[in-house]
Structure 1
């Protein structure tokens, strides 16, 4: 049932920032775990800054992450674009290697499976593989925390129900377009029922522990800790949250439970990673921080996501008359020779424009490629082939753009890893709420390039246009 956000949230008392801060500072000072975030697409860094993102998961890279001065690093798996078998292997490899490095360095760690805030992805496969592997490595796990709250994207959880906020209306996640995803769709908005649905009943909704917002807002730290201490046999914990401070209160109780020997895996959105990583506030990045005003080339904007929000944002972006737009007919993927000709055409024209100082937007044909029922694996593979085609344009691009924006999770991951050849990037911050920026490493195709990772389902209809206008130094429209 849809509800009004202002009405629903008015039922709960506000938290005292000073009280939460005092509790937090006391707890964080004794928290010594290394935090490893496995990101199923590059958008999971949309709340942090000053942390590293690794695009491979070799034992050497994981050890380098452990040895960094900060307590948090990301591994970009891009597993949302993987088959189930690929996903299984990657997560088994990472868990084994993380456990080995932990033993070598005598450093405790925790693994966060950072997934989509609208619940799409390989769940429960990813955390189940981590659980099975860590158990086999002698690292017992008591339970799993589900915390998909993400304020910047308007994702709230109240009374165990996950919502997507639009203006002042809270829409149950199961009623949104995201729940109709052909590969990762679902029915349930109640997270306990979502668990039962996704695990085919292996974990019952009635066995899920709820941490309600009423308990969080009353600062019932001891009661929350007690609930966590009673979780066992990899049962699930669902956490309510409507603002970042709610996550912080829960995390205080979580740290107390960890100190008493409890162990968990985590399936969360980006808010939890910021909080448990103790990442400070940073203002949004500005054009002078990102773009060299002396650069003579144009920028490059690559749009692959097909959610309706991206399509609407593209239409608004077209209001910027200084940009050049090129459509890539992705449906030609079914005819490989014709598709390659199309890729070459788009690349040549884009290079000419960017060299001439004109920022160019390359976008895939907006109509979805629909192969019919029971073809989700084939459609996923074709979407990967299309993303590879878009990536190849960047990979072969002969001109260094002033900046690069990639729209969509799979698109931005493939461009970052394969198109730009990034092996380790630094998160500079966000250019708009929920929209992160990487600074590419020396090893990349375009070193030190501001690479803006724009999630498909984030922002207002005008946000992409506004970001581009800022970078272009124009007040249009």
Structure 2
């Protein structure tokens, strides 16, 4: 029997593991840490690069560094067979084609790279090469949603070949993009896959997990015959490629991971509309107490003003925790306007640095931590908790991963941490996650 290739996921925020379980998430990418992922028993592992929070130039630098070390680690571990996935946002935001170009240059050549943005748990499907987001049950082309108006990653097309042409500034023409539509996928794509070469760009439909299961099976068959592929995808194709089966502990039983049955802390950094709706519902619960962090003037504040704000928030959280309630720490919700992209990124970095200082000062024996927002969650793992790696336990609701810190963590040993993307879940999503831990 042919062994399956190792699936190496470079994740631009830490939420791409939201459809799998029992694998490693790496927050660092030195050669030794990458070897941990390559040697792990799971067929898949994730390198959390957090590049969506960076400038294009920084994203390229980080991706290049990961790939350079990855080549060394792959050679050291004697890995012959692997697939590389550049995992990004299911609403088409992110540094495409910056990251795929660097990966192809550093660990290629590849016969093709595929855009597979379907993410079924989040209501994202692709039909006839048009990518849709379900809004109140209605399939809406993503270019008509708030995500297409993103000030950093905005775009004008839901038809993926046109999206590719737009993002590559015409280097890849829409008419030269290979389209794998539902009828193609369901009939079988192996022959077409075997004929691809020269890092051909392909876009892939997906309406159900079975569609991607079929496509993944053909991809793995082609890979077994020597073809090399790169993916730019959301999370659902990872389910099909890894084929892990059911997670060990069902979502409704995740409370068994809570430390000592104690109350926890919820940290909300995301500002998308869905997160704000979910936060409003959570704050209605009687055993929840909100702690608003006013960040509007963070860039203009002095160090002493920032320290005073930090001390005020930490004191409030400790008081709430000592009363056996759960503190919900959230950044002020008003929409801020920035003079340019760099100022927005600087603001995001300043907010994150403050939130991570709060994480480091949380009560040491909290029962759990829920982190809301992709970039926030990445920073919680890599900076707030200072983890080298974490083991993914599974999903607590569709699309929301639970990881656990190592038992030898100096501050928060065996702490369950929820990585909750900003755009995932219904209006009661945060409430459901919280209640499953209680």
The TM-score normalised by the length of structure 2 is: 0.95
The counterpart of 2:182, out of the listed 213, 217, 232, is 213
For 1:116, the equivalent position in structure 2 comes to 89
Residue range with higher mean Cα deviation, 283-292 or 261-270:
283-292
The counterpart of 2:255, out of the listed 288, 291, 294, is 288
- Deviation per residue, 1:117-150 (Å, 9 max, x gap): 111111111111111112xxxx421211111111
Structure 1 segments, 4+ long, off by >6 Å, are: none
For 1:5, the equivalent position in structure 2 comes to none
Q: Does 1:33 align with 2:2?
A: no
Return closer, same or farther for 1:39/1:285 CA change in 2, 3 Å cut-off. Answer: farther
Distance 1:128 1:395 in 2: 37
For 1:126, the equivalent position in structure 2 comes to 99
The correspondence of residues 9-20 of structure 1 with structure 2, limited to 5 A, is none
Distance 1:232 1:182 in 2: 35
Q: Does 1:263 align with 2:228?
A: yes
Please give the root-mean-square deviation of Cα atoms over the aligned residues, in Å: 1.5
Q: Does 1:82 align with 2:35?
A: no
Distance 1:355 1:120 in 2: 41
Give secondary structure in 2 for the equivalent of 1:275: helix
Contact 1:41 1:409 in 2 (8 A): yes
The correspondence of residues 218-237 of structure 1 with structure 2, limited to 5 A, is 220-221=187-188, 224-237=189-202
For 1:345, the equivalent position in structure 2 comes to 312
The counterpart of 2:403, out of the listed 438, 462, 472, is 438
Distance 1:332 1:443 in 2: 38
Q: Does 1:239 align with 2:204?
A: yes
Distance 1:189 1:447 in 2: 44
Length, aligned pairs only = 432
Distance 1:470 1:105 in 2: 40
Distance 1:168 1:48 in 2: 25
Contact 1:147 1:268 in 2 (8 A): yes
For 2:173, the equivalent position in structure 1 comes to 204
The correspondence of residues 39-438 of structure 1 with structure 2, limited to 5 A, is 39-107=11-79, 108-134=81-107, 139-217=108-186, 220-221=187-188, 224-282=189-247, 283-292=250-259, 294-295=260-261, 297-337=262-302, 338-372=305-339, 375-438=340-403
Q: 1:31 Cα shift?
A: 3.9
Distance 1:67 1:287 in 2: 27
Contact 1:440 1:448 in 2 (8 A): yes
Contact 1:183 1:377 in 2 (8 A): no
Contact 1:347 1:397 in 2 (8 A): yes
Give secondary structure in 2 for the equivalent of 1:406: strand
The TM-score normalised by the length of structure 1 is: 0.87
Q: 1:235 Cα shift?
A: 2.2
Q: 1:443 Cα shift?
A: 4.6
For 1:20, the equivalent position in structure 2 comes to none
- Deviation per residue, 1:451-477 (Å, 9 max, x gap): 0111100000011112223323xxxxx
Distance 2:235 2:173 in 1: 26
Give secondary structure in 2 for the equivalent of 1:366: coil
Distance 1:102 1:427 in 2: 22
Give secondary structure in 2 for the equivalent of 1:43: coil
- Deviation per residue, 1:245-266 (Å, 9 max, x gap): 1001001111222222221211
Residue range with higher mean Cα deviation, 351-360 or 99-108:
99-108
Residue range with higher mean Cα deviation, 301-310 or 164-173:
164-173
Distance 1:447 1:226 in 2: 50
- Deviation per residue, 1:353-404 (Å, 9 max, x gap): 11332110010000122124xx012202211210111111001224321110
